[in-house]
Amino acid sequence: MSLAVLDTPQAAGAAAAAVVQECVQAKPDAVLGFATGSSPLPLYDALTGSGVDFSRIRGFALDEYVGLDPGDSRSYAAVIESEVVQRLGLQPGAVRLPDVAAADLEAAARDYEQAIRDAGGVDLQILGIGHNGHLAFNEPGAALDSRTRVEELAERTRRANARFFDSPDQVPTLCITQGLGTILEAGHLLLIAHGADKADIIARALQGPVDTDCPASALQLHPRVTVVLDRAAAAGLAGHGFGTPGTQGTPGPTS
């Protein structure tokens, strides 16, 4: 595992973007995994106008709500379109999402899992982390070998996402999400987080036991993980060998 700690979310986004750029420059037709939510936005900001040619990449979203029209601005399809496809100049349809409108959602989840395999797997998976330690929509209790599936959202996750809706009651209760086992099969995992409110769960995920109560602790099982944080998110790691970046702006090795 390697770690970079930067002064601001914007600097963390630039450092994470450098990891993505390196991947795409080395493999122009790379398969990227895209996260939504607030965590990766500084990364996408930094990639915009970077001059890197993303026209040949393919991608997969981590998850999608069940029950929202793809044109709904709160759907992850809409977020991926506006924050990733349009800003990075990707080809239309380059990023696939689960078919949450399918009559058989379980079959749609299996089809999505197979599509990732058919693409040769994800080369670089971008990740955020939830306040309860969820990765994608793998809530506490998710099996470490879980696959893409229909999942019920935890109440804390729905409360956290309620800011995007007119009322908490409008937040969907179901989603299709890649499983932890699916995520762990990506060649390289890139976790970005910022803000003091993520400090405790970051410390638990990276330094606590590998435990299904903290799904993000599964990161410790992967052979190639890059973690990029701002100083507020890294505060819980200080004094444990994690608090100092290797090189400013460049992910460096942890102890």
Could you list the active site residues? Answer: 63, 132, 134, 139
Report the alpha-carbon distance of residue 233 to residue 219 in Å, rounded. Answer: 17
User: Which amino acid is present at 134?
Assistant: H
Distances, alpha carbon 228 to alpha carbons 46, 51, 82, 174, 225, in Å = 14, 22, 23, 29, 10
Cβ neighbourhood burial of 2 (10 Å; 0-12, 13-18, 19+): middle
User: Which amino acid is present at 142?
Assistant: A
Chain centre distance of CA 74: 17
- Contact indicator for 154, 164 with CB cutoff of 8 Å: no
Exposure string over 147-186, b if 16+ CB within 10 A, otherwise e: bbbbbebbeebbebbeeeeeeeeebbeebbbbbbbbbbbb
Degrees, nearest 5: CA angle 142-110-93: 110
Q: Are strands 58-61 and 225-230 parallel, antiparallel or unpaired?
A: unpaired
Report the alpha-carbon distance of residue 81 to residue 183 in Å, rounded. Answer: 22
Instruction: At 164, list the tokens.
Output: 């995007």
- What are the residue ranges of helices labelled H in 38-95? 41-47, 76-80, 86-88
